[in-house]
């Protein structure tokens, strides 16, 4: 197969590309330039997409003996991922930019361009497995599963891609035992990125100060912090900077009557108000979502599943049913704590991904 290998400049994508070459595919490497200011995107091990990363990707391609190109997708990234991030926070929701990057960039802009250029698949360094199953009628389907290494599993952020794009994707690292094993393989293959630190946090917030980034982009918008009864207990500089479940940085002027800590329960953008309350009020048992993507036929009646609302969260027992063409409703048996509108809701059956949606309502 003709395979386009996405080379981020890190160890995972380099080893994934090496495995694709070793499997006999005709591989071409491409680095996605996503930042308008690439020289400013890496601080220590934070971020990605810097000039340093592009150079590391080129050197990996040289070691593997494959052609290498840089595609400038910075405008697309700014107009989709960054714009969505700002709009969601401004609307009082909590987005996951990695999910949106996979949706709009890696498995839309990149994959669609690769297909137009005649490539059969895109290879990435994501930790997830693709299993091919044959039905009784002889038809073949591909399933998205968790990676063997649960600590590195990225099926949660990949679930948004859907079955059509899964059919044109390769994840060679899904079966590795650990990140240490990937680094050891990179050393054995002579790849200089074997000891390179992982990028983490939000790639376009290089210093890790998300509230500062939001403040710079959205400006100061002073408002009130209130308790569940509506009493004013503090002030803030912008409701958009708070997330459901947050405890630190609330700057409350009045302690709770019972002396217990308080958490953000709700962000109300219409009134620029942040609502705080006791920890037990964070637990929800019912979720609704939209923009649903299914890897199985959408269930029209209640079906058992496991629900996960954070990239490295713990899946919990639940029941799910589809509501309309792109809606979903989930009942959580024991409850979930601190779920906010905007979060990605991924549904599993064991290791298999059933579907994904964006949370719109979290309640009791």
Q: Are residues 254 and 306 in the same domain?
A: no
Q: Are residues 225 and 335 in the same domain?
A: no
**What are the distances in angstroms from CA 194 to CA 80, 142, 184, 326?**
32, 31, 7, 42
Q: Is 203 assigned a catalytic role?
A: yes
Pairing of strands 303-308, 316-323: antiparallel
78's tokens: 């700014």
Q: Which residues of the chain have pLDDT under 70?
A: 36-49, 200-201
Q: Are residues 262 and 163 in the same domain?
A: no
| Nearest one of 89, 40, 354, 334 to 204, comparing CA atoms | 40
| CA pair distance 233, 253, nearest whole angstrom | 5
Specify whether the backbone of 324 is left (phi greater than 0), alpha (psi in -120 to 50) or beta.
Answer: left
Q: Are residues 259 and 323 in the same domain?
A: no
CATH number at residue 170: 3.40.50.620
User: Contact, 314 vs 337, CB < 8 A?
Assistant: no
pLDDT at 47: 53
Q: Are residues 319 and 335 in the same domain?
A: yes
Asked if residue 208 belongs to a domain, the reply is no
Q: Are residues 16 and 55 in the same domain?
A: yes
User: Contact, 107 vs 123, CB < 8 A?
Assistant: no
Q: Are residues 317 and 356 in the same domain?
A: yes
Pairing of strands 128-134, 121-123: unpaired
| Last residue of one domain, picked from the residues 164, 188, 212 | 188
Asked if residue 198 belongs to a domain, the reply is no
pLDDT at 48: 62
CATH number at residue 249: 2.30.30.280
Q: Is 101 assigned a catalytic role?
A: yes
CATH number at residue 344: 2.40.30.10
| Last residue of one domain, picked from the residues 252, 277, 302 | 277
Q: Which of 48, 101, 123, 305 is catalytic?
A: 101
Helix (H, G, I), strand (E, B) or coil at 214: helix
User: Contact, 49 vs 35, CB < 8 A?
Assistant: yes
pLDDT at 331: 97
193's tokens: 């990125």
User: Contact, 65 vs 39, CB < 8 A?
Assistant: no
| Nearest one of 211, 200, 204, 167 to 311, comparing CA atoms | 200
Domain with 336, as residue range(s), is 282-363
Which letter does DSSP use for residue 155 in this model? H
Asked if residue 124 belongs to a domain, the reply is yes
Q: Are residues 89 and 144 in the same domain?
A: yes
Q: Are residues 113 and 176 in the same domain?
A: yes
Q: Are residues 29 and 151 in the same domain?
A: yes
Q: Which of 48, 49, 123, 203 is catalytic?
A: 203
Q: Is the pTM of this model over 0.85?
A: yes
Number of domains in the chain: 3
**Residue 216 CB coordination number (10 Å):** 9
pLDDT at 45: 45
pLDDT at 37: 65
């Amino acid at each position: 197969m003709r395979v386009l290998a996405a080379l981020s400049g890190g160890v995972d994508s380099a080893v994934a590309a090496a495995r694709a070459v070793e499997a006999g595919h005709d591989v071409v490497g491409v680095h996605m330039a996503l930042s308008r200011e690439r020289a400013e995107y890496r601080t220590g091990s934070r971020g990605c997409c810097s000039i340093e990363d592009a150079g590391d990707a080129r050197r990996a391609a040289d070691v593997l003996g494959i052609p290498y190109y840089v595609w400038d997708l910075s405008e697309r990234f700014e107009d989709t991922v960054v714009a969505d991030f700002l709009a969601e926070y401004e609307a009082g929701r909590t987005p996951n930019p990695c999910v949106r990057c996979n949706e709009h960039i890696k498995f839309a802009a990149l994959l669609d361009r690769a297909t137009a250029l005649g490539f059969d698949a895109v290879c990435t360094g994501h930790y997830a497995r693709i299993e091919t199953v044959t039905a009784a009628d002889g038809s073949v389907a591909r399933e998205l599963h968790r990676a063997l290494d649960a600590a590195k599993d990225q099926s949660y952020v990949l679930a948004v891609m859907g079955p059509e794009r899964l059919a044109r994707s390769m994840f060679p690292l899904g079966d590795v035992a650990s990140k240490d094993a990937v680094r050891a393989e990179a050393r054995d293959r002579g790849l200089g990125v074997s000891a390179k630190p992982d990028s983490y946090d939000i790639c376009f917030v290089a210093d890790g100060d998300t509230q500062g980034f939001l403040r710079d982009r959205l400006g100061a918008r002073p408002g009130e912090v209130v308790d569940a009864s509506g009493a004013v207990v503090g002030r803030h500089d912008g409701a958009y900077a708070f997330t459901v479940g947050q405890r630190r940085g609330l700057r409350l002027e009045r302690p709770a009557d019972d002396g217990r800590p308080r958490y953000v329960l709700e962000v109300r953008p219409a009134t620029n108000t942040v609502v705080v309350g006791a920890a037990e009020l964070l637990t929800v048992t019912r979720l609704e979502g939209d923009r649903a993507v299914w890897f199985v036929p959408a269930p029209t009646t209640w079906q058992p599943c496991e629900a996960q609302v954070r990239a490295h969260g713990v899946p919990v027992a639940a029941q799910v049913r589809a509501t309309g063409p792109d809606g979903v409703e989930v009942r959580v048996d024991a409850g979930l704590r601190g779920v906010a509108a905007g979060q990605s809701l991924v549904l599993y059956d064991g290791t298999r991904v059933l579907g994904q949606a964006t949370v719109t309502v979290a309640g009791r």
